[in-house]
Amino acid sequence: MMSSTLVFYIAMLSLPAVVPAQDADPDALYRQRGTPGRAEAAAAVWEAQLAADSANVDAAWKLARAMYWVGTHGPEAGRRAALEKGVAAARHAIAAAPQRPEGHFWAAANMGALAESFGLRQGLRYRADIKRELETVLRIDPGYQQGSADRALGRWYHKVPRLFGGSQQKAEEHLRRSLTYNANSTVSHFFLAELLFDMDRDAEAIAELHKVLNAPPDPDWEPEDRLYKERARQRLN
């Protein structure tokens, strides 16, 4: 059984304005996350499942995943609280199933969003934890979610200052490795383009942006594909 204190903490960070139907399918709701309110509704279902069964690992990591979306795409005022809730839910999943990759990855994702969005203090606070969790995913399942851990580590090495462990070379290595799992990943190509621009390799960066635009749609990642294709268009313009 999980810590009652952690379950209470998750419950206290809930979003009471979202009350889904009792028979709502949270996975179906989450697939519609590009529509405002759907990710929050999915999160409310998973939160209720976790409150009913604190050992429900799938509810915990899926709640963390939904909170990442809300914390990066939802209303501005609630983003930080959503990401902190995502960290708590992911840690719950890690405590319940430390040998599964999901909790480790979504803990890193939520911490990474906090680090990128809320200033240097947040970045320094989570820097080591993010790297540790992503390296744990690589040890457990390097191909998890189409190489997402390598993609996120590439971003980590790109965005962390060199003084604190950042490395453009390692960033490129991880991002290119992530593309071996999904050669059409719009996110990986976009992150690689940003890195190449910072390395003054503009022609290669522009080529990566065109790969974002030309990537075929992925039904599992349609909202993300749409977002990064638009960002690639803006950068090319």
Domain final residue pick, 161, 177, 193: 177
Give the pLDDT band (50/70/90) at residue 13: very low
Q: Tell me whether residue 22 is exposed, middle or buried, using C-beta atoms within 10 angstroms of its C-beta: 0 to 12, 13 to 18, 19 or more.
A: exposed
The per-residue pLDDT of the chain, averaged, comes to 91
Identify whether residues 135 and 119 lie together within a single domain: yes
Identify whether residues 218 and 120 lie together within a single domain: no
| pLDDT tens per residue across span 102-129 | 999 999 999 999 998 887 777 778 999 9
- What is the model's pLDDT at position 123? 73
> In the chain, pLDDT over 70 holds for what percent of residues?
90
Q: Alpha helices, DSSP H only, in the chain?
A: 4-12, 26-31, 38-52, 57-73, 79-96, 101-117, 119-140, 148-159, 168-178, 186-198, 202-214, 222-236
- What is the model's pLDDT at position 146? 95
Q: How far is CA 121 from CA 115, 209, 213, in A?
A: 8, 31, 35
Question: Under 8 Å CB-to-CB from 202, ≥6 apart: which residues?
Answer: 196
How much is the pTM?
0.89
Q: Where is average pLDDT lowest: 1-10, 56-65, 142-151? A: 1-10
Identify whether residues 141 and 77 lie together within a single domain: yes
- What is the model's pLDDT at position 23? 64
- Tokens 């799938």 belong to 58
Stronger pLDDT, 15 or 227, i.e. the higher one:
227
The whole-angstrom separation of Cα 32 and Cα 231 is 20
Identify whether residues 141 and 206 lie together within a single domain: no
Does position 138 have pLDDT exceeding 60, yes or no? Answer: yes
Phi, psi (rounded to 5 degrees) for 37: 95, -20
Q: What CATH number is associated with residue 140?
A: 1.25.40.920
Give the pLDDT band (50/70/90) at residue 24: confident
> In the chain, pLDDT over 90 holds for what percent of residues?
85
Domain final residue pick, 126, 142, 177: 177
Give the pLDDT band (50/70/90) at residue 22: low
Q: Which two tokens stand for residue 224?
A: 């993300």
Does position 21 have pLDDT exceeding 70, yes or no? Answer: no
Domain final residue pick, 130, 153, 177: 177
Stronger pLDDT, 44 or 21, i.e. the higher one:
44
